Amino acid sequence: MALLEIQGLTQKFGGLQAVSDFNISIEKGSLVGLIGPNGAGKTTIFNLTSGFYQPTEGTITFDGRDTRGMKPHKVTALGVARTFQNIRLWHDMSVLDNIRIAQHYRMGYSLWDCFARTRNHALREAEIDRIALELLDAMDLRAYADERPRNLPYGLQRRVEIARAMSIQPKLLLLDEPAAGLNSADVEGLIRLVQWIHREFDITIWMIEHQMKVVMTLCSEIKVIDFGATIAEGGPEDIQTNPKVIKAYLGDENI
């Protein structure tokens, strides 16, 4: 059974149909790409998958569970983590606290435990600290643990955001344009980071990306949408030479 199964997904906003009959089956351990021109509906699909939107039509099944009607934190608790095209960090908190707070959904202690500083509170906080510090070490961020994200270069901020998503120990990681705003050196570093995460954590990754080098290097399967509808799917070589994809990105005169 696929880890993520989406069938007949359609999303309408008033008279606008942002997604039309979208289907995908993502197997555990795979690294899949979702591409298309600006406004094609890619982020809408991620918002539906992670519970930020509820679909007009269709089904979303994650790890055997129908997620329709679930709030984002419930979908997260099932094991779906995501990043955003525009980095969303808490800039008034330290890097360490950004990683720690992402685990709030599984704190495992009550408000009374917090006020009374019970043993349960102490044990759970120690576990949250351990996970956060291990991630900072693994992703070469330990030196910035006490720094505010706003003081870091953009490439490091993106790394912090990915580390925060990883802190929930997800089964599926959604990366929404992780290379956006990165320079060429940071893009190379991002490719190595995603490869390392995929390998070391044995995690399933579904990514949206505009930089073709990133997608073609990382993804074994790619799905292409335009105006909310699927126009192509296959391996990197198939996608690069597909006339419908070339037309969507470059126009008729390039066919």
Look at residue 90 in the predicted model and tell me its pLDDT: 87
Residue 197 host element (H or E):
helix 184-200
Q: How far apart are CA 211 and CA 232, in angstroms?
A: 18
| Chain center to CA of 203 | 12
Q: How does residue 254 score in pLDDT terms, banded at 50, 70 and 90?
A: very low
Mean pLDDT, residues 196-222: 94
Look at residue 123 in the predicted model and tell me its pLDDT: 74
- Whole-prediction pTM: 0.88
Q: How far apart are CA 176 and CA 245, in angstroms?
A: 20
In CATH, the architecture of 4-89+155-254 is 3-Layer(aba) Sandwich (3.40)
Look at residue 126 in the predicted model and tell me its pLDDT: 74
What percentage of residues in the chain have a pLDDT greater than 90? 67
Look at residue 220 in the predicted model and tell me its pLDDT: 93
Look at residue 255 in the predicted model and tell me its pLDDT: 40
Look at residue 112 in the predicted model and tell me its pLDDT: 64
Domain ranges of the chain: 4-89+155-254
Q: Is the pLDDT of residue 50 over 60?
A: yes
Q: How does residue 42 score in pLDDT terms, banded at 50, 70 and 90?
A: very high
pLDDT digits (tens, 9 = 90+) for 141-153: 999 999 999 999 9
Q: Which long-range contacts (CB under 8 A, 24 or more apart) does 252-255 make?
A: none
Look at residue 105 in the predicted model and tell me its pLDDT: 62
Nearest to 217 by CA among 241, 196, 191, 193: 191
Q: What is the mean pLDDT of the chain?
A: 90
Q: How far apart are CA 65 and CA 60, in angstroms?
A: 8
Q: Is the pLDDT of residue 253 over 50?
A: no
pLDDT digits (tens, 9 = 90+) for 29-40: 999 999 999 889
Look at residue 13 in the predicted model and tell me its pLDDT: 93
